[in-house]
Amino acid sequence: MSSIAITDRHPTFAIDKLGVLIAVLAAVASFLPFAAFRANRIVLGEAKGIFAALPEWEAAVLAVVLAAGIGIALFRTPTVWRLATSLIVLALLFIAIGHAGTFLTPPGDRIARVSPGAGFWLLIFAFALLAADAIARLKLKPWTRLGVLGVVAVFFAVLLGSGTLNDLSILREYFNRGETFWREAQTHLALALGSLAAATVVGIPLGVLCHRNSRLRVPVLNVLNAVQTIPSIALFGLLIAPLAWVAANVPGASAVGISGIGAAPAMVALFAYSLLPVVANTVVGLEGVPYAADDAAKGMGMTDWQRLVTVQFPLAFPVILTGIRIVLVQNIGLATIAALIGGGGFGVFVFQGVGQTAMDLVLLGAVPTVALAFAAAVVLDAIVEMVSPRGVERED
């Protein structure tokens, strides 16, 4: 006697584990202040929820979209839906906070300040996490990831160019310091990229030398590890006295910009911090070159230099480039501290804002620093994947 199995044809809604965290964060954020209104840049702000910070219809639309986004995050929905939803919600949040600035600011008032509230930032974090998770699950190709980054950059360029965000306090701080902002941006990039270039020029040959001479490897890596343990502010301070002595006693040193304070100690400190990742990754990359490839090159009669340039270095390059990526992201963040010793950069706004209890001025320095570090990480991750040897394609 045969039995007939009856299956439940009703759809089951499976819960996504990470989605639970995202949904909880977004739900909590929805009840936190979306924006803060202040009569001027120094006084305490008045917290405004979503329905108090926006016109009723905009607040209702945003609430519905947030509810839909929470639902898609909570359940195991198609990954493409999750990515599209996260990007749409993030775009609407930035547009909404710009409209909140306009809605809350009295007409003609140039003193009042409207800042994003804790709820806005927590919502941004929650749906950015959803977007990152979706991108990781989709395993997007490098060019596709760069394309997504480009779309995000274009969106913000259009948003800023349209004036939607002009009534937010961070943009008002920018309008008051536009010329200074771009000058410090150039200084910040010069410190981060200049120290990276110097560390690459010195670190790669030093890494090759450490790879070939095992007796040299241990002391060099130990010294570079010791440098990494010194707090950045302490290292900047330690460099003031010797560089001041060099500027005073070495002919021409002062003329080329060497001094106890300013960009010189900042550049030297960032260079010192940059050496370990470059040297260590060079050693690891060369150690990982397959013996068979090197032995085949040796059997073809190649010299040590020829094997290094044509076989070993190309195979080790993805690992070396990973070290360069670490250095660039690290230096973009550390360059902020250079402002403490007169080195300039976005840290100027951060420390001015802290001193004046003006958090919007802090954001003027912090937001572009974070954006630069994020963009650098995405771009170099994509490049590393492009230059890495392709594995055997998996069969379905």
Band (pLDDT 50/70/90 cuts) for residue 61 is very high
Query: Mind giving me the DSSP string for 6-59?
Result: PP--SPP-PBPHHHHHHHHHHHHHHTS-SEEEESSSSSPPEEE-HHHHS-HHHH
Q: Are 98 and 168 in contact (CB under 8 A)?
A: yes
pLDDT reported for residue 395: 39
Strand order in the sheet with 35-38: 46-48, 35-38, 113-116
pLDDT reported for residue 304: 77
Site of tokens 């609407």: 92
Q: CA-CA distances (angstroms) from residue 236 to 198, 224, 242, 288?
A: 18, 16, 11, 35
pLDDT digits (tens, 9 = 90+) for 321-356: 999 999 999 999 988 988 888 788 899 999 888 887
Q: How far apart are CA 371 and CA 186, in angstroms?
A: 15
Instruction: For the chain, list the domains and their CATH numbers.
Output: 17-139 (no CATH), 178-387 (1.10.3720.10)
Close Cβ partners of 352 (under 8 Å, ≥ 6 residues apart): 358, 361
Band (pLDDT 50/70/90 cuts) for residue 16 is confident
Q: Are 41 and 113 in contact (CB under 8 A)?
A: yes
pLDDT digits (tens, 9 = 90+) for 242-282: 777 777 777 766 766 677 677 788 888 899 899 999 999 99
pLDDT digits (tens, 9 = 90+) for 96-139: 999 999 999 888 777 888 999 999 999 999 999 999 999 989 98
pLDDT reported for residue 291: 80
Q: How far apart are CA 73 and CA 25, in angstroms?
A: 11
pLDDT reported for residue 299: 77
Q: How far apart are CA 42 and CA 198, in angstroms?
A: 42
Q: Which two tokens stand for residue 10?
A: 């009703």
Helix (H), strand (E) at residue 113: strand 113-116
Q: What does DSSP say about strands 35-38 and 113-116: parallel, antiparallel, or unpaired?
A: antiparallel
Q: How far apart are CA 56 and CA 96, in angstroms?
A: 12
For 261, the 3-state DSSP assignment is coil
Query: Mind giving me the DSSP string for 308-337?
Result: IIIIIHHHHHHHHHHHHHHHHHHHHHHGGG
Q: How far apart are CA 363 and CA 350, in angstroms?
A: 7
Band (pLDDT 50/70/90 cuts) for residue 308 is confident
Q: What would you measure as the largest C-alpha separation in the chain, in angstroms?
A: 104
Q: CA-CA distances (angstroms) from residue 265 to 175, 261, 338, 351?
A: 31, 6, 8, 18
The percent helix, strand, coil of the chain (3-state, each to 5) is: 75, 5, 20
Q: Are 26 and 71 in contact (CB under 8 A)?
A: no
| Other CB atoms within 10 Å distance of the CB of residue 176 | 12
Q: How far apart are CA 141 and CA 380, in angstroms?
A: 13
Q: What is this structure's pTM?
A: 0.84
- Tell me, what amino acid is at 160? L
pLDDT reported for residue 215: 85
Q: Are 339 and 269 in contact (CB under 8 A)?
A: no
Is residue 164 pLDDT above 50, yes or no? Answer: yes
- What residues form DSSP beta bridges with 37? 46, 114
